[in-house]
Amino acid sequence: MTIGLLKLANKYEFLIKNAGRKEDVLTAFPKLSKEIEKFCEQDPSGNLKYLLWQTKILDSGQALTQEIIDVTKLFDKYKENLPKKDINQYSVKEFTDLRDLLFKIKDKKTKKKSLYKIDEAPDTQTVYEDESCKLLLIKNKAASVHFGNGARWCISMNNASYFEDYDSSNVVFFFLLSKELAKETSVNYKIAISNQRDVDNNIIEQIFWNSNDYQIDYMNLSHDYPNINKIKSIIDNLAPQQPKSILAKVTDNTATEEEMEKCYEFALRQKDENVKMKVIDIIMNNKNVPHHIIIDLCKNDDIDIRVNIASNQNSPKEALLILSKDEEKDVVACVAVNQNASKETLLDIYEKWYFDSTIISELVRNNNCTKEVLLKISKSKNKLGRSQLAEKYNCPKEILLILSKDEEFIVRYNVAKNRNSPEEALLILSKDKEFQVRTNVAINPNSSEEALLTLAKENKLGMDYNIANNPKATEKVLRAIFNGINRSRVYCYNEFNPK
């Protein structure tokens, strides 16, 4: 093992021992922060136990984010059907084996059709050919499925959106097909060459994949393909010349309105839901998507599509208003937390869903939620909503003052802890019947001298310690502590330490 690989192995071992915590993984892989966040958002375990493994696979270049997420979800669902039930037992090289096995289990249980069925005409261009092989430029998914048949490439799975993932990432594929080698005798009988390009179509990464979906050094192909250097030169020259696909343009926000329309029409034609949802997701994340497309999608029967729109920060206010009246609670909840929703929309949601804790929680989380709605929540019977409002970091001071008199302990506790709470609210809570509430007041840097003096009268060691270390503790407050019965036991970290 090389020194570089040894260091990498040691890094993974350290992270595994530290339970692969999100902050550790982010620190170890700072360049993958966006993808790591996506792994966390779609974590099926509830405790991020797959995060390190997912990141390791992504870092290896073996698969893109969505494929890794799909495999992880299937593993979490069907792991009891697998010989190895700990995902960390599967190495990078075993990823494709695990993926294929999980899809077979899924197909068997759901009785789905083959993943390799072809539905449309392949579009390719032969860019090189000799007596032993042929090099094809792959122009559409149908070509990838057709000419990739027999290989284990994810882009050749028809009823999956992995080809679209690569396509939208501005990757160009070439397939090298041998005329002499057979599948039964060589994994090199088909070779896929992926060319990841930047926004200017320059190649930034080129990977050769054998038919088993393993990365290989192209120089190792010289025995099976004597002209491999010439073939690579052709690929290096042609890949940057290929125009971006519409999906790639939509992804990088360079698509025209006409191209956006074509992309939308393409999505609607898709029979496979995975592909349809992938393309619509790409469209919805474009900042310039025509509003009429979004409005039209608001009427779609697929709840996932409506949830996608409702949660997207690029969705226009008109679309969010339509979806705020949706019959599905999940859709309304996404609108409630969307910071692009209008004041009127948020108020309408509250008036209709004031009794529902989930919806109210989302309204409280929305930093653009109006004071009018928050005030209604503070006076509502929704305990959870009031509690979450009390700990909201930018909750208006006048509302926190109202909540400081709440009948529920947890609400008052959160107000006392909130660093935005006004002095008047904290003074009220300094006399609260609950010790934990008063303790939060003693710690809160917004507490006034009067509130701290009130607490100092308790002459309790723990309370005195917190008061003494409050940055607002004045000389008068500190003297009150040291004049109490616990003065000989209080160690004060405050700059002023009275004699």
Tell me: the pLDDT tens digits for 172-200?
999 999 999 999 999 999 999 999 999 99
Q: Band the pLDDT of 485: cuts 50, 70, 90.
A: low
Q: Band the pLDDT of 458: cuts 50, 70, 90.
A: confident
For the whole model, what pTM was predicted?
Answer: 0.69
| Contact by Cβ (8 Å): 429, 437 | yes
Whether residue 477 is predicted with pLDDT greater than 60 in this model: the reply is yes
Q: Band the pLDDT of 9: cuts 50, 70, 90.
A: very low
Left if phi > 0, otherwise alpha if psi is -120 to 50, otherwise beta: which for 66? alpha
Whether residue 157 is predicted with pLDDT greater than 70 in this model: the reply is yes
Whether residue 333 is predicted with pLDDT greater than 60 in this model: the reply is yes
Distance CA 126, CA 50 (A): 42
Tokens 């060459």, residue? 193
In 34-170, DSSP assigns E strands to 124-129, 133-138
pLDDT above 90 as % of the chain: 71
Tell me: the pLDDT tens digits for 115-133?
444 457 899 999 999 999 9
Distance CA 55, CA 68 (A): 9
Whether residue 143 is predicted with pLDDT greater than 90 in this model: the reply is yes
pLDDT above 70 as % of the chain: 91
pLDDT at site 119: 57
Bridge pairing between strands 215-216 and 171-178: unpaired
- Residue 140 makes CB contacts below 8 A (sequence gap 6+) with 120, 122, 123
Tell me: the pLDDT tens digits for 53-91?
999 999 999 999 999 999 999 999 999 999 999 999 999
Q: What is the DSSP-derived secondary structure letter of residue 189? A: S
Look over the chain and give the mean of its residue pLDDT values, rounded to a whole number: 88
